[in-house]
Amino acid sequence: MQAHGDYRIHTAGRLLWIVVSGGINYQFACNYRDAVRAAAQALGPGPWLRVNDIRHWQLGGPEVIPPLQELMQWCEAHELAHSINIVSMVNLQKHMLDRMMAGVARGSQRHLTHGVDDTCQLLQQLAPELDLAPLLAAIYPAR
């Protein structure tokens, strides 16, 4: 089965900034789970932050929940401090996020934002040492 959807993972300091787009399937969810784990492990030990820009994510069927739930469990067990989701379809995307977190013991804080500017303001509070300008230029060159 070929994966559907697309993701890009960028790093800056102790931050993973991930952009997800398209409709996703089981194969995508498994590939994504493994790629996020690998990127987070490369950060080394200690608390870290994750931004998920899911504004262009077109959701997926129920088969995507188990591998994404495994990822959420792994993140919580490996010092994720904050998870920020940039959303466009608040109710639908929040519902899917809630399903992924069902039964997962949460130690991190989850935040929902509506755009890159809101996210950057929040990150300035959470990690003021981060220089976001180069990261944002790489992710959103037309910004």
- The pLDDT tens digits of the residues spanning 63-122 come to 999 999 999 999 999 999 999 999 998 788 888 888 888 888 889 999 999 999 999 999
Ordered DSSP codes for 5-67: SEEEEEEETTEEEEEEEEEE-HHHHHHHHHHHHHHHHHT-SS-EEEEEEEEEEEEE-GGGHHH
pLDDT at residue 1 tops 60: no
> Which pLDDT value is given to residue 2?
59
pTM comes to 0.92
**What is the chain's mean pLDDT, rounded?**
92
